[in-house]
Amino acid sequence: MAGNLRRRRHVRHPAGEPHRPAPGHGGYRVGGPKKNPRRGARRRDGRGGRPMMAQAKKSPTYVLLYAAVVSTLFTAGIMALHAATRDIVERNERLFEQKAIVELFGLGDVETLSDTEIVELYENRAYLFDDVVDPETGQSHKVYVAVDEKNHLIGYAFSVSGTGFWARIDGYMAVTPDLNKVMGITFLQHQETPGLGGRITERTWRQKFVGLNVSPNPDGQFIYIGGQAPQADSPRASRHVDAISGATGTITALDRFLNEQIPMFRRLEEELLSKHVTKIPF
């Protein structure tokens, strides 16, 4: 018994340091500290290998199931968010086009009008015909008809679209009732480079189209975007728009598809007046 007893070593502590008793309570300890056989115990497989939970987490079935559950929850969250915001997105897109049409025809100053006033102007003075068929191509196009307070015709706005430098560009060009002068142009969708081709949406540049002559031209081209500015007395002077610096690709594409589609305006007007005359308010 005496051989199993070990005298606790006395430890001197520096002044001011609290006394910390050595392991074992009292002066002696028997055979060293006892280990708790239950402490830190984990269930292992029958062969003494790694814990069964660790093995399960590394199995292919567990990984696939975990990935499937996470993917399902993530997809469900995205779908729920889309459903919750769909009405808001559609309303904002509709208001965006309504503002563009009100500005295009000069029905009001969209910078000072409230959203409610813009919607009221749009609903009372702009009429959309989205199924006007081009008799030459058989394709349907959108055409807006705008009137003043007395229901007198202000002009038409025809949808224009084409491939820009990067992707599709969609917008409207408004013309006077005789289809000879541009009232304005707007672009609703594009993916052109911000600060370069993306500047086609800037009002200061779009204003340069106002008053352009788009009557039939002997050389076959209706407008000229970019290139050398013509002399003041040149026939091209009334058809020319300065390009945007650094946006050659976008300007070239715009010049091409606008000149291709302007002749379509007269065909669509004839179709509109012949088949939709009962829906026109003037």
Convert the pLDDT of each residue in 191-241 to its tens digit: 999 999 999 999 999 999 999 999 999 888 999 999 888 988 888 999 999
Q: Is 256 part of any domain?
A: yes
Angle between helices 115-125 and 60-104 (to 10 degrees): 70
Rounded to two decimals, what is the model's pTM? 0.70
Q: Strands 140-147, 126-133: parallel, antiparallel or unpaired by DSSP? A: antiparallel
- Is 58 part of any domain? no
Answer yes or no: is 101 within a domain.
no
CA nearest to 159, candidates 139, 181, 177, 144? 144
In a domain, 35, yes or no: no
Whether 224 maps to a domain, the answer reads yes
pLDDT of amino acid 114: 96
The answer to whether the beta carbons of residues 142 and 129 sit under 8 Å apart is yes
Amino acid at 133: V
Distance CA 155, CA 175 (A): 6
Note whether residue 188 is domain-resident.
yes
* Cβ atoms within 10 Å of 178's Cβ, excluding its own: 9
Here the tokens at position 41 are: 């115990």
Q: Cβ distance 199 to 247 under 8 Å?
A: yes
Distance CA 25, CA 78 (A): 62
| Residue 42 pLDDT | 52
**pLDDT given at position 1:** 47
Q: What is the DSSP string of 200-229?
A: GG-HHHHGGGTT-B-S--TTS---EESSSP
**Residue 135 Rama label (left phi>0; alpha psi -120 to 50; beta):** alpha
**End-to-end CA separation in angstroms for the chain:** 120
- The pair of structure tokens assigned to 262 is 């302007």
In a domain? residue 152:
yes
* Structural domains counted in the chain: 1
Provide the residue range defining the domain that includes 134: 126-279
Q: Which residues of the chain have pLDDT under 50?
A: 1-5, 27-28
Q: Is 170 contained in some domain?
A: yes
Strand 182-189 and strand 224-225: the pairing is: unpaired
